[in-house]
A = this chain, B = another copy of it.
Amino acid sequence: MTARRVADASGPWLSAYQKTRERTETLVKPLSEADQTAQSMPDASPVKWHLAHTSWFFETFVLKPNLPGYSAFDPAFEYLFNSYYNSIGEQFPRAQRGAITRPGAPEVLAYRHHVDKHMTQLLSQSSPELLNRLDSLLPLGLAHEEQHQELLITDLQHLFSINPLYPAVTVPVQAFAPVVALGWWHHPGGLVEIGAPAPGDASDVQVDDSPSFRFDDLPSFRFDDLPSFRFDDLPSFRFDNELPRHQVRLYPFALADRLVTNGEYAAFIDAGGYNDPLHWLSEGWAWRCREQISQPLYWLRRAEQWWQYSLAGLHALDPHAPVRHISLFEAMAYAQWCGCRLATEFEWEHAAARVEPSDSVYDPTILAPQSQSQSADQLYNCLWQWTQSQYQPYPGYRPEAGAVGEYNGKFMSNQFVLRGGSCITPPNHIRASYRNFFPAATRWQFSGIRMAKDD
């Protein structure tokens, strides 16, 4: 994007900033101070920490270098709410975030509002030169806030799942309609373009229409957008790890036209899938034995029935809903048992570039997959989908300059890529080229399974 375009966009930026920050606070409305303070495991953070850390991000990377005379809300917060930016300084130990009872929730809210006030001041008055400087930092800050909107929900759900009272803070979803037999979209392979479009590209969403590279029967979806969730007046954003756009050689493959359901997954369990090492990666089998895993996270067996915990409380498992809270190990074992495999991240991305994501299924008061998302837009925003691709740099990858260069690149070992997005991913955050990544044993994210196979 050009400087001119950004300069014009000062109003849209301010509006996007305010809407994004407001949504975060909307999400935590039903929570007590206790709910916001506790931490259930080292991988998860307290809600309050998410509220503070996202503010720390704007304070550290935007306000301090760009707003003359800006005074930090509390100098100790630089240490307390730095996540992993070694360039900025030492970090408070991650596993002990739940011990930070002070600052309390009110002080953290005051911190947010202090930052918001100064961000508003900065964005209201800023010159084209300044906006140009903020070119990549502003959308990065918003994307970062959106990531934490999702993470605070996954972390909260994990925290509540430990509580034998099974707290409910959302309303239950309706039963899913029975699924039809699995269909397949076919693709003949070839050399395709992967990665986010370069800034100067004519179209922000680039679809490869060359006749030889096509999904034979993948419909072109179009959904009504909810304008409140997408910032259509802003240039599109991408992380450094989605670049550079480059060519990848695909071979003929097929993608399933929907996600694997709870009922299908239960059949895998009934068939002894968790007891046969031949379905599993070696590391996955060791994990399953060490952790005594025999079912997806949040499933409970009571009175010979499956139950599931969600933010709506404990309820009978819906066999037609897509299976979720699945590790890469389980997803691969399931696929192996079916005689299929997971897609590569490139196969997935090329398929997804055909489809425009919808945000009609994102509802911050529900925070679970809903029946209407069972349609083909699951390609994007019902559940994150594990791919068989390990998280590696694209050819010519360069981390961003400065401290934000620690955002993505340093995690490129021992992680698998998930694609798509989920029912709790802010819609603005969903795009074909997006690369989410987690270690193979991760289960507390909203992760599911889409089958693929060689054609």
CA of A412 to CA of B410, assembled, Å: 21
CA of A80 to CA of B164, assembled, Å: 8
- Tell me, yes or no, whether A236 is within 8 Å of chain B by CB: no
- Tell me, yes or no, whether A2 is within 8 Å of chain B by CB: no
Residues of B within 8 A of A162 (CB): 96, 99-100
CA of A28 to CA of B37, assembled, Å: 18
Q: Is the interface of A mostly helix, strand, loop or mixed?
A: mixed
- Tell me, yes or no, whether A60 is within 8 Å of chain B by CB: no
Task: Find out whether the CB atom of B163 lies under 8 angstroms from the CB atom of A283.
Answer: no
- Tell me, yes or no, whether A71 is within 8 Å of chain B by CB: no
Task: Name which of A38, A103, A249, A280 has the most chain B CB atoms within 10 A of its CB.
Answer: A38
- Tell me, yes or no, whether A127 is within 8 Å of chain B by CB: no
Task: Find out whether the CB atom of B34 lies under 8 angstroms from the CB atom of A99.
Answer: no
Q: Which residue on chain B has the smallest CB distance to residue A412?
A: B281
Residues of B within 8 A of A303 (CB): none
Task: Find out whether the CB atom of B396 lies under 8 angstroms from the CB atom of A251.
Answer: yes
Residues of B within 8 A of A104 (CB): 32, 34
- Tell me, yes or no, whether A248 is within 8 Å of chain B by CB: yes
Residues of B within 8 A of A164 (CB): 76, 79-80, 92
Which residues of A, 69-94, contact B by the 8 Å Cβ criterion? 76, 79-80, 84, 86-87, 92
Binds B, one of A18-26, A255-263, A373-381, A384-392: A384-392
How many copies are assembled? 4
- Tell me, yes or no, whether A393 is within 8 Å of chain B by CB: yes
Task: Find out whether the CB atom of A191 lies under 8 angstroms from the CB atom of B392.
Answer: no
Residues of B within 8 A of A159 (CB): 99, 101
Task: Name which of A48, A101, A247, A249 has the most chain B CB atoms within 10 A of its CB.
Answer: A101
Residues of B within 8 A of A32 (CB): 33, 101-102, 104
Choose among B34, B37, B86, B411 the residue that contacts A102 (Cβ–Cβ < 8 A). Answer: B34
Task: Find out whether the CB atom of A278 lies under 8 angstroms from the CB atom of B411.
Answer: no
Task: Find out whether the CB atom of B103 lies under 8 angstroms from the CB atom of A165.
Answer: yes
Residues of B within 8 A of A92 (CB): 164
CA of A278 to CA of B165, assembled, Å: 27
Task: Find out whether the CB atom of B278 lies under 8 angstroms from the CB atom of A87.
Answer: yes
Task: Find out whether the CB atom of A284 lies under 8 angstroms from the CB atom of B99.
Answer: no
- Tell me, yes or no, whether A197 is within 8 Å of chain B by CB: no
CA of A159 to CA of B98, assembled, Å: 10
23 A–B pairs (Cβ distance < 8 Å), ordered by A: A33-B34, A35-B101, A37-B101, A38-B38, A38-B98, A39-B98, A40-B96, A80-B165, A86-B277, A86-B285, A92-B164, A98-B98, A99-B159, A99-B162, A100-B162, A101-B160, A191-B191, A251-B396, A278-B406, A281-B412, A283-B411, A389-B392, A390-B392
> Assuming A101-B35, A164-B92, A392-B390, is B251 touching A249 (CB within 8 A)?
no
CA of A64 to CA of B308, assembled, Å: 33
Residues of B within 8 A of A38 (CB): 37-38, 98-101
